[in-house]
Structure 1
Amino acid sequence: MTTQLYPLVGPTDPTAALASRSILRVQKARLKNQQLTCDFTEQRSDEAPLRTFTLTAQELVHPDLLTCLAQLVPHLCLLCEQLRETPDFWPDDNTGLLPDHLTPFTVTGLVLGGGGSGVTLIGQRQLAGGKVLNLTSPYVALDQELEPYTYAGLLETAVQAAVAEIEAALRGKCTDYRQLDLFEPAAGFTAIDEPFIPLVVRA
């Protein structure tokens, strides 16, 4: 199902005809319980003043955003020196699925610095005892000429994909769901479907 995205995040004149989208710049994004909290700026045009927002969405994020964040997991592991690169270290090129050695790790957010020219990854590692180790990567410049990180180019591509999904989430892309009313019967069941069983009173 295609989600209709809105041209503006913040309030605007509902009678105004908007031919183009506003300009969003994500500064910081993080997920908790699959809900997005994001610090960002918005401009209605190149000449318009910046508007600064911190937004926490009540809807669950779309699976596309979770997929993009998962592609950042290998970089989190290398930058935080949690794992060493091996021949089977990276996700499958065709499916994008994480190999087993990466499944204890998750990327829960990112911080963009230098006007988007660098990034810090935020994530977690699930430990064997059930506890969680919080991880924060060093700041990485996305300019490959300035950054000694070998995979800065791959990281930049993955960050751009994640930011695009974050911007889509800010414009309304989320998981579609409908909460049942408290007294609404489950689908496929009505009282008329129940067989009539006569009540027999025995002396």
Structure 2
Amino acid sequence: MSQLLPVVGPDSPETRSIITIQKVKVKDQHLTCEFIEQRSEEAPPRAFALTCTEQVHPDLTHALSRLVPHLCLLAEQLTETTDYWPDESEELPTLFEPFTVTGFSMGRNQGGVTLIGQRELAAGRVLNLTTPYQSFDDEQASYPYTGLLETTLATALVEVEAALRGKCTEYRQLDLFEQPATTNVLLVPTPPRA
């Protein structure tokens, strides 16, 4: 996995920088990300925490959903069956409906990951889940799908980088002062406050 991801902001040679993503969280469709940025490889690193005001693009939520099977295995919530792993193009099976990956935390030099998620319980309550740290260079291979996890996480990191560059859900905001032609508006003055 690439240790450094290029660029925050517009993709132009003047603003190109190198970032290392450390922590990602998506809450209420908004991305919060902690990362280290360097203007060049020789420049000193600067740490940032950024919360995007725009809603995340569906590609990012899709990339995070692909981490759900790993969350379930690493947190020992489900056991693997013959049809456990979905194809990339298909939606997750109903088996995974109660689960959501809400973020992740990268290890030093992006050599591993801790997944963070939730499980909706039958009564509607939420169980927060945090997996044990999973190293990508695990010599003892305690998790047999480390390579698949690393590849799936790389896709999520690409989407996080795209979100940091401005990829978000497009929405149309209505004009604040535009009034529909068929609506009559009566303005009533309010007395001044004392």
Q: Same fold (TM over 0.5)?
A: yes
For normalisation by structure 1, the TM-score amounts to: 0.80
Number of equivalent positions? 177
Say yes or no: does 1:102 pair with 2:96: yes
Residue 132 of structure 2: which of 119, 122, 138 is its match? 138
Q: Which blocks of at least 5 consecutive residues in structure 2 are unaligned?
A: 1-5, 183-194
Which position in structure 1 is the counterpart of 2:68? 73
Q: Give the % identical residues.
A: 57
SS of 2:174's equivalent in the other structure is coil
Query: How far apart in 1 are the matches of 2:142 and 2:83?
Result: 23
Say yes or no: does 1:174 pair with 2:181: no
Residue 46 of structure 1: which of 33, 41, 49 is its match? 41
Query: How far apart in 1 are the matches of 2:76 and 2:23?
Result: 23
The answer as to whether partners of 2:72 and 2:78 remain within 8 angstroms in 1 is yes
- String of CA shifts for 1:74-107, please: whole Å, max 9, x gaps: 000000010010112122x152310001011000
- String of CA shifts for 1:33-87, please: whole Å, max 9, x gaps: 0100010011111111111100000000011101100000000000001001011
Query: How far apart in 2 are the matches of 1:75 and 1:104?
Result: 14
Note closer, same or farther for the CA distance 1:7–1:85 as it changes in structure 2 (3 Å cut): closer
Query: How far apart in 1 are the matches of 2:70 and 2:130?
Result: 11
Deviation at 1:130, TM superposition (A): 0.4
Q: How does 1:9-88 map to 2 (within 5 A)?
A: 9=9, 18=13, 21-88=16-83
The answer as to whether partners of 2:7 and 2:18 remain within 8 angstroms in 1 is no
What amino acid does structure 2 have at the position aligned with 1:128? A
What amino acid does structure 1 have at the position aligned with 2:98? P
Which position in structure 1 is the counterpart of 2:187? none
Say yes or no: does 1:157 pair with 2:140: no
Which is higher, the Rg of structure 1 or of structure 2? 1
Say yes or no: does 1:113 pair with 2:107: yes
The answer as to whether partners of 1:142 and 1:152 remain within 8 angstroms in 2 is yes
The answer as to whether partners of 1:141 and 1:147 remain within 8 angstroms in 2 is no
The answer as to whether partners of 2:18 and 2:37 remain within 8 angstroms in 1 is yes
Query: How far apart in 2 are the matches of 1:173 and 1:124?
Result: 25
Deviation at 1:160, TM superposition (A): 0.7
